[in-house]
Structure 1
Amino acid sequence: MTLSSVVIVGAGQAGFQVAASLRQGGFAGRISLVGDEPGLPYQRPPLSKAYLLGKIKAENLVFRPAAFFDQQQIELIQDKAVIIDRQNQRVVLESEKALEYDHLVLATGAHNRPLSIPGEHLEGVFGIKTLADADALAPRAKNAKNVVVIGCGFIGLEFAAVAAAQGASVQVIDRGDRLMARAISPQMSELFLKAHESWGVKFHFSQAVDQIMGKDGKAVGVEKVNGDVIPADLVVYGIGVIPNITLATEAGLEIENGIKVDADLLTNDSHISAIGDVACFPCVHNHGEHTRIESVPNAMDQARAVSARLLGKAAPFVATPWFWTDQGNLKLQIVGLSTGYDSTVTLGSMESNQFSVLCFRRDHLVAVESCNRPGDHLAGKKLLSRPPELTQREAKEPDFDLKAWEVAHRS
Structure 2
Amino acid sequence: MFGPAALLWTCCALAEGMTANFTLDNEIHAGFVARRLRSQERREMQREILAILGLSQRPRPSLYEKRTAAPMFMLDLYNSISTGGDAGPTQPPPPPPVPAQDSRYLRDADMVMSFVNVVEPNVDAFQSHRYHRDFRFDLSRIPEGEAVTAAEFRIYKDFVHERYENETFRVSIYQVLQVKRQREVDLFLLASRVVWAAEEGWLVFDITATSNLWVLHPSQNLGLQLVVENLNGKGVNPRSAGLVGGSGPQNKQPFMVAFFKATEVHLRGIRSASGHKQRNPNRSKNHKQENPNQEVLKMTEAAELLNVDQKQGCKKHELYVSFRDLGWQDWIIAPEGYAAYYCDGECAFPLNSYMNATNHAIVQTLVHFINPETVPKPCCAPTQLHGISVLYFDDSSNVILKKYRNMVVRACGCH
Give the TM-score, by structure 1 length.
0.20
Larger radius of gyration: 2
Give the TM-score, by structure 2 length.
0.20
Say which structure, 1 or 2, has more relative contact order (CA 8 Å, 6+ apart): 2
